Amino acid sequence: MIKMFVAGSPIGHSLSPLLHKHAYELLNVEAEFTAQEVEEKNFADFYYESRDSGVRGLALTMPLKEISIGFVDRVDPLAKQISSINTVIFESTGSIGLSTDLLAFKNLLQPYFGKRIAILGAGGTARAALGALRGTGTQVSILTRSMNRHDQLHAASGDLDLEFLDWHTFAQIQDRDLIISTTPAGATDGLSIISSKADFFEVIYHPWPTELAKRYQNLGRHVIGGLALLVEQAMFQIQYFSGAKFDNQQMRDELLKVGRAAIGR
């Protein structure tokens, strides 16, 4: 049996155990995947206990995606670029940290490569999106309340053409092809729009839909929900943890169905 944890704080709302368990059942893989409430101050103890007890891997959510880089033996080059990991694999040769968030963004953002994208927020999820867009010739505007993370965002973006805008210029980015919200729940509730040419990508799946996602839905724009991101990155984790091969589209459809049922969509 392989054993995995999803860890973070808060973790009670996580759909990851449901998705992973369903996937392993479909694949006939004997596995245990459970949620653990872990704060930054407790991560060291959790990490070493997991490693020493034969755990196969960790799926990490906030606030552990940055601090965990300092613990793994090797960091995937793509994850190193964005200074964030959400997956740890324990091998006999040591632990590996990588970002399946970045890999998921690559799949989901492909229709917008080379176009104009705006990103709300400047944290680790924004960096994962930027890392996925590297080398695509995409023009990216970033709306943020803080000037403190510009260096990290430039490092994550590589050769991308970045433009930094004030948070209050939200109305001015409605001519973009896509707007990605990477902010915590409630952070965008005060943003309003009358019209928009942009599609909208909300990385949150709980609560769903967010107030801003509703506004784009009401305008008839294409809306990508956080469940799509969660499922896409989970499929990479499932492959890494189990070593099993599967049809990606069939697995995606199965996990989206289970996730939608869980959040009432």
**In a shared domain, residues 90 and 125:** no
C-alpha Rg value of the chain to the nearest Å: 18
The region of weakest confidence among 10-19, 33-42, 63-72, 139-148 is 139-148
**In a shared domain, residues 108 and 215:** yes
**In a shared domain, residues 159 and 255:** no
pLDDT of residue 92: 94
pLDDT of residue 186: 86
pLDDT of residue 159: 87
pLDDT of residue 9: 96
pLDDT of residue 231: 98
**In a shared domain, residues 187 and 122:** yes
Higher pLDDT, 13 or 240: 240
The letter for the amino acid at 258 is V
pLDDT band of residue 251 (cuts 50, 70, 90) is very high
**In a shared domain, residues 195 and 173:** yes
Q: Comparing C-alpha atoms, which of 120, 168, 163 is closest to residue 140?
A: 163
pLDDT of residue 148: 73
**In a shared domain, residues 131 and 211:** yes
- pLDDT above 80: residue 71: yes
Average predicted confidence (pLDDT) for the chain: 95
**In a shared domain, residues 60 and 151:** no
**In a shared domain, residues 17 and 67:** yes
pTM of the model: 0.95
Q: From CA 195, how far away is CA 64, in angstroms rounded? A: 37
**In a shared domain, residues 41 and 86:** yes
Q: Comparing C-alpha atoms, which of 230, 197, 190 is closest to residue 212?
A: 190
- State what percent of residues in the chain have pLDDT above 90: 87
**In a shared domain, residues 108 and 214:** yes
pLDDT band of residue 134 (cuts 50, 70, 90) is very high
Question: pLDDT, tens digit, for every residue of 180-216?
Answer: 999 988 888 988 899 999 999 999 998 889 999 999 9
**In a shared domain, residues 54 and 159:** no
Tokens in use for 234? 């989970």
The region of weakest confidence among 77-86, 150-159, 177-186, 245-254 is 150-159
Tell me which DSSP letter residue 185 carries: T
pLDDT band of residue 178 (cuts 50, 70, 90) is very high
CATH number for the domain spanning 209: value is: 3.40.50.720
Q: Which helix (H) or strand (E) holds 178?
A: strand 178-181
pLDDT band of residue 68 (cuts 50, 70, 90) is very high
Q: Comparing C-alpha atoms, which of 196, 137, 190, 192 is closest to residue 161?
A: 137
Q: How many domains does the chain have?
A: 2
Average of per-residue pLDDT across 63-68: 95
CATH number for the domain spanning 22: value is: 3.40.50.10860
pLDDT of residue 187: 86
Q: From CA 9, how far away is CA 6, in angstroms rounded? A: 10
Domain span at residue 197 reads: 103-224
**In a shared domain, residues 156 and 198:** yes
